[in-house]
Amino acid sequence: MKIKIEDFFKPIHVKDNFSEDDYEIVNAFINFARSLSRLTYQSIYLIDYSKKSFLFVSDNPIFLCGSTPAEVMKEGYHHYVSNVPEDDLHLLKKINDVGFDFYGKLTADDRLKYSISYDFHLKQPGSKPLLVNHKLKPLLLDNHSNPWIALCLVSMSSHPNAGNIRFKSDEDGRQFEYDLVKDIWVETPRVKLKPREKDILLFSAQGLTMDQIADRLYVSIDTVKFHKKQIFSKLKVKSITEATALAIELSLF
């Protein structure tokens, strides 16, 4: 079945008619996103679920697929239909459906506390599709606690495959992963890293070799190797790059 733009908005039920005064508040978020985009390599954009459009698109190239920010702003959600491979477009539709279903079951008080993260491919001109990570968080709700304005950060994924769908609470650290095979959300225990494991991750993120890390920590290289294996096991990853990215995503530092 061919995915249409309207399919992404079926689970969304924004019920307010927003005034010009309401959008004065939104302008503050647009200015914030514009300033933030100058400080990070990540692509940033703002979604308006009421207008079914983008309010801001940064000029960072990860999300643009060879277009300009103005062109992507004009395309809106058609940008996904044009630039996401067919299999991943169906995956995005699934993420959209189960994500809004999860969100709808949260209390009104919790709806600004959770963010969702997931991976999918974006086509790149003259190159293979790039696996990217989306982190999306509502910023403003309507009077019925439905999402109105949302912030999305786009970066290169540290995972080998698309999917990796995760909801996380910014307040209490609860996290839920979506099992695509069983078609259910599963609450996952919060991973805890020991101080030495955090040190090794931080030094690795700074580009230090295992020998250099061992010197910094006054331990043997075998001890560093042991802790790295423990880190990989706890985070269920295969590389230090994946481990560092996931540790940041899960706020483990």
Q: Is 70 exposed, middle or buried (0-12, 13-18, 19+ CB in 10 A)?
A: exposed
118-150 residues labelled b (16+ CB within 10 A) or e (exposed) = bbbbbeeeeeebebbbbbbbbbbbbeebbbbbb
| Residue 131 shares a structural domain with residue 20 | yes
Which position has the token pair 């978020």?
Answer: 29
On the question of pLDDT at 138 being above 80, the answer is yes
Contact call for residues 56 and 43 (beta carbons, < 8 A): no
Q: Based on the fold, state whether residues 75 and 10 are members of the same structural domain.
A: yes
pLDDT at 246 over 80: no
Residue 47: which pLDDT band, with cuts at 50, 70 and 90? very high
Considering the domain architecture, whether residues 199 and 103 belong to the same structural domain is answered as no
Q: Has residue 61 got a pLDDT over 90?
A: no
- pLDDT tier at 105, thresholds 50, 70, 90: very high
Residue 119's pLDDT is 95
Structure-block tokens of residue 65: 């697929």
If you average pLDDT over residues 155-165, what whole number do you get? 89
Whether residue 47 is found in the same domain as residue 152: yes
What integer pLDDT is reported at residue 165 of this predicted model?
A: 95
Q: Do 178 and 243 belong to one domain?
A: no
pLDDT, tens digit (0-9, with 9 covering 90-100), for 182-235 = 999 999 888 888 899 999 988 888 888 889 999 998 999 999 999 999 988 888
- Residue 76 pLDDT > 80: yes
- Do residues 163 and 245 both lie within one domain? no
% of the chain residues with pLDDT over 70 = 100
Number of domains in the chain: 2
Question: 30 and 132 share a domain?
Answer: yes
Boundary-marking domain end, from 146, 161, 188: 188
Of the pLDDT bands very low, low, confident and very high (cuts 50, 70, 90), residue 253 is low
Enclosing domain of residue 209: 195-249
Residue 112 has pLDDT above 90, yes or no: yes
| Domain end call among 145, 161, 188 | 188
* Dihedrals phi, psi of 96, to nearest 5 degrees: -60, -45
Of 188, 212, 236, the domain-final residue:
188
Question: 162 or 251: whose pLDDT is higher?
Answer: 162
Same structural domain, 215 and 245: yes
User: How high is the mean pLDDT of the chain?
Assistant: 90
- Pair 138, 225 in one domain: no
Instruction: Say whether 133 sits in a helix, a strand or coil.
Output: strand
Are both 70 and 110 inside the same structural domain?
Answer: yes
The domain that holds 39 is classified in CATH as 3.30.450.20
Q: What is the pTM of this model?
A: 0.83
Is residue 177 domain-shared with residue 199, that is, in the same domain? no
